[in-house]
Amino acid sequence: MAANEAFDTYKELYYEGGVSSVYLWDMDDSFAGVVLIKKVNDGTVRSKGSWDSIHVIEVVEKGRQARYKLTSTVMLYTVASGAKGDRQNEINLSGSLTRQDERDLPNEDANAHIVNMGRMVEDMEFKMRNALQEVYFGKTRDIVNGLRSASDLSESKNRERLQRDLFGQLKSRKD
């Protein structure tokens, strides 16, 4: 119950809505759990999509320490269009990313597990969000810019000539 309340607060702070659930179960010498978070943008603006994160955590207690093994998967789906209802200029981007982390953390009381799991999930989601932003959105921007330049050809040539000139001047200073 406390884990669901903690991750509900996390979801509200970071996602401003959505749905979250936490499930825990006993194992032979440990326990495990899953944290599920889903946020859907219904398309009220010029984009729609969803973010699904699944965090599976195994916890093995060792006295006043516990080993936490986290496997996280984020599934991202987004559609952006030029004008409302304009399907011709629509861009659809979706994919998933999975990462793992393992840490030994102090386990002083029952609430320590919730705090430790929360911190690990928060850190992992931050890293994965940044990776998605760089990999998916950065690569998509590179591909689109490679297919069609936003500036005209003469401007690109002037920029390349300026870069060569600057590089040449910096190289001559070094020599």
| Residue pair 21/10 in contact by the 8 Å Cβ criterion | no
**What's the pLDDT band for 25 if we cut at 50, 70, 90?**
very high
This prediction has a pTM of: 0.74
- What does the alpha-carbon distance between residue 36 and residue 152 come to, in Å, rounded to a whole number? 46
Please compute the mean of the pLDDT values over residues 89-110 and round it to a whole number: 87
- pLDDT tens readout for residues 29-77: 899 999 999 999 876 666 788 999 999 999 999 888 999 999 999 998 8
Region of 59 (left: φ > 0; alpha: ψ -120 to 50; beta: rest) is: beta
24 vs 171: CA distance, rounded Å:
61
Residues 6+ apart with CB under 8 A from 138: none
Average pLDDT, the chain: 85
- The percent of residues above 90 in pLDDT, for the chain, comes to 41
The residue among 147 and 95 whose pLDDT is bigger is: 95
Q: What angle, 0 to 180 degrees and rounded to 10, lies between the N-to-C axes of helices 110-132 and 2-15?
A: 30
Taking the CA atoms of 98, 99, 104 and 106 in sequence, report the sign of the dihedral they define: negative
Q: pLDDT (tens digit, 9 = 90+) per residue, 141-159?
A: 777 677 766 666 677 788 8
pLDDT band at 120 (very low <50, low <70, confident <90, very high): very high
